[in-house]
Chain A
Amino acid sequence: MTAAATDRATSSPTSRPAPTTKGPTVLRVVASEWSKLVSLRSTAWTAAVTVGLTWVTAYLSANASSGDPGFEPLSSLSQGLVLSQLSMLVLGVLAGTGDFRAGGFRTTFTAVPRRLPVLMAKVLVTTLVGGVVAVVSLAALVLGVLPAARSRDIPLDLTAQWTPQVLLGSGLLLLGMALLGLAVGSLVRRTVLAVTVALALVFVLPVGFVLAADLASPPQVGVSTETVVTELDPVSTVMELMPSNAAYRMTTTPDSAGPDGAPDLGPVGGGLVFAAWILLPLVAAGIRLRTRDLT
């Protein structure tokens, strides 16, 4: 084998790439990142788990509330995303940390020494994969509430008034979670730490903030609970700007009011705030990638 292999190494004039095939282009880097993302089992696993969790959660929550007199199947759609946004987040984190799990980044960034095109390509392919998973999850969502709706003979009209917008918002929430995971993963680079940070940002931070605010505020003795709060309450306002709440806003209808004491962001406003939460770590990751050594 040895001798033959060496011979082949020396005699391959035909294999020399034609001079027209030059260096990395945007399209090539995207193609490369695409094969990297889809060649990992973790991508397939997290995608499958996301779709499965969406269906199970939607099915169970619709069944649980189908006994209520005012059961409205479409209003419980967003309930189905409670758990699956978590696995979408993990899908994104793994897409972001994959290169850094071993020394893969050395291979990647010696091929594309300008570095930033790689990050942009990762955003693009994660959007593609995340978008497909989100669309399939939406189908799972509808299929999940279908049995409960049928049992009450409530027809599901997906084109009714706000339904298309709520579905779009739900899809964007899932996609956004994948991108938030990617941004955090690209910035933090270490998988376990990045998953922890991303989960903390989305799930722990809001709860922790409410608890801290409760402990900090003096007990409200003698204040009537009937008081209508008209002023902005700082705690509610901050809560509304948290990534999970802002993302949840995308799945609500424009006519639904926000919580008391918080600015009414509406679905679009919520989406913009959520987008800012994605951009922040993404830009930080870009700056770290561009300006720091890769060792």
Chain B
Amino acid sequence: MIQVEALTKRYGATTAVDGLSFIARPGTVTGFLGPNGAGKSTTMRMIVGLERPTSGTATVAGRRYADLDAPLHAVGVMLDARSVHPGRTAFRHLLAHARTHGIGRSRIEEVIAMTGLEPVARRRAGTFSLGMGQRLGIATALLGDPEVLILDEPVNGLDPDGVLWVRGLVRDLARQGRTVLLSSHLMHELALCADRVVIIGRGRLLADATVQEIVDRSERAGTVRVRSSEPEALERALCALGAEVLSVEPGTPRGVLRVRGVSVDEVGVAAGRCGAMVFELATEGGSLEDAYLELTADAVEYRGRATTVGPEAGAR
């Protein structure tokens, strides 16, 4: 279990992490999500004792990282795929790491096989592709067979096959009862493998909930979209039912309504009552991505200028 309480880190006038609290529990994959510069990596570095918090605490299995008897057996860490001397072979890197805890060669061979590094194990890490570097980083984290895994952007740079593999791996690790904290700025990636998501922006906690809860929180969650011949009449009928009309795309007689607060069935019945022909009727599910973008809208540090492809482009 990873427990972060009121964790704060300031560099001079800049506050990188601001009173952050969350818990990553055993048997779950906890996604750690936030825009670039939100403080994810800083938080992870504080958890593993590379940086000292300005205030607050971070503990693993109830203890500060620096107080752990055998850190590698307690926590597997991958903070950066480039955490290897480029002149050292993958095997030698793992060997040096293993020796700090008296871990034997058989375990090294095991994690090499597990991460598919056999063909490149005797090659110097400087010649590795980003994907191979990630695999070596994961192999390093798995070396001590730890109960807790902290992986910073593990799918970054992996090919589709590798992404699938990481997804399966973290799910398996969680199923074995281990705690997995996994950071990413790719929300759909987390939607596929995380049980819970902790979202931060500008160092502050924005959300800490299950993936489903966060998706439901999205504005678009539970929205019904209906394209019919009589959008105005249908709009009046739905409003009478207490529905909230989110948008109307006129284009009579093929207008599209997006409403919330009514079920598809209710919309269908209402359409029949007011004699509207229905061409399309469907619920629009919210996605983690939408929810994430809404949550972090104010917290994005680096944003490109919005390109105009909105209503104007649609109107033509």
Instruction: List residues of A (92-116) whose CB comes within 8 Å of B's CBs.
Output: 98-99, 101-107, 109-114
Q: B242 at interface (Cβ–Cβ under 8 A)?
A: no
- Contact between chains at A102 and B172 (CB < 8 Å): no
Assuming the contacts A28-B102, A40-B85, A103-B84, asked whether A113 and B65 have C-beta atoms less than 8 A apart, the reply is yes
- Contact between chains at B103 and A2 (CB < 8 Å): no
Shortest CB-to-CB span from A261 to chain B, Å, is: 47
- Contact between chains at B85 and A8 (CB < 8 Å): no
- Contact between chains at B107 and A39 (CB < 8 Å): no
What chain A residues lie within 8 Å of B161 (beta carbons)?
Answer: 1-2
Q: A159 at interface (Cβ–Cβ under 8 A)?
A: no
What chain A residues lie within 8 Å of B175 (beta carbons)?
Answer: 10
Bound state CA distance, A228 and B124, in angstroms? 62
- Contact between chains at B169 and A17 (CB < 8 Å): no
Bound state CA distance, A108 and B85, in angstroms? 11
What chain B residues lie within 8 Å of A42 (beta carbons)?
Answer: 87
Bound state CA distance, A167 and B88, in angstroms? 35
Name the CB-closest residue of A to B145: A16
Name the CB-closest residue of A to B92: A39
- Contact between chains at B165 and A2 (CB < 8 Å): yes
Interface of A is mostly: helix
Count chain A CB atoms within 10 A of each CB in B52, B92, B97, B110 and give the residue with the most: B97
- Contact between chains at A106 and B115 (CB < 8 Å): no
Residue-by-residue, is B168-193 near A (CB-CB < 8 Å gives 1, otherwise 0)?
Answer: 11001101100000000000000000
What chain A residues lie within 8 Å of B79 (beta carbons)?
Answer: 103, 106, 110
Shortest CB-to-CB span from B27 to chain A, Å, is: 14
What chain A residues lie within 8 Å of B73 (beta carbons)?
Answer: 17, 22-23
Assuming the contacts A23-B68, A32-B100, A39-B96, asked whether A110 and B48 have C-beta atoms less than 8 A apart, the reply is yes
Q: A173 at interface (Cβ–Cβ under 8 A)?
A: no
Residue-by-residue, is A1-39 near B (CB-CB < 8 Å gives 1, otherwise 0)?
Answer: 111011011101001110001111100110111011001
Q: A168 at interface (Cβ–Cβ under 8 A)?
A: no
Chain B interface residue number, banded: 35 or more
What chain A residues lie within 8 Å of B115 (beta carbons)?
Answer: 5
- Contact between chains at B80 and A103 (CB < 8 Å): yes
What chain A residues lie within 8 Å of B97 (beta carbons)?
Answer: 32, 107, 111
What chain A residues lie within 8 Å of B114 (beta carbons)?
Answer: 5, 8-9
Name the CB-closest residue of B to A98: B85
Residue-by-residue, is B53-90 near A (CB-CB < 8 Å gives 1, otherwise 0)?
Answer: 00000000000011011111101010110111111110
- The listed residue (B80, B87, B103) touching A17 by CB distance below 8 A is B103
- Contact between chains at B172 and A10 (CB < 8 Å): yes
Q: A9-B142, A28-B101 are in contact. List 8 more A-B contacts (CB 8 A).
A: A6-B168, A9-B169, A17-B145, A23-B71, A23-B72, A39-B92, A39-B96, A107-B140
- Contact between chains at A17 and B84 (CB < 8 Å): no
Q: Which 6 A-B pairs have the closest CB atoms?
A: A23-B70, A103-B83, A39-B92, A32-B99, A293-B51, A111-B100
Q: A295 at interface (Cβ–Cβ under 8 A)?
A: yes
- Contact between chains at B99 and A106 (CB < 8 Å): no
What chain B residues lie within 8 Å of A12 (beta carbons)?
Answer: 110, 145
Bound state CA distance, A28 and B101, in angstroms? 7
- Contact between chains at A9 and B173 (CB < 8 Å): yes
Bound state CA distance, A32 and B94, in angstroms? 10
Shortest CB-to-CB span from A127 to chain B, Å, is: 18
Bound state CA distance, A204 and B83, in angstroms? 34
Assuming the contacts A35-B95, A101-B85, A103-B80, asked whether A10 and B176 have C-beta atoms less than 8 A apart, the reply is yes
Q: B246 at interface (Cβ–Cβ under 8 A)?
A: no
Bound state CA distance, A112 and B66, in angstroms? 8
- Contact between chains at B45 and A295 (CB < 8 Å): yes
Q: A200 at interface (Cβ–Cβ under 8 A)?
A: no
What chain A residues lie within 8 Å of B75 (beta carbons)?
Answer: 110
What chain A residues lie within 8 Å of B87 (beta carbons)?
Answer: 40-42, 101
Shortest CB-to-CB span from A288 to chain B, Å, is: 14
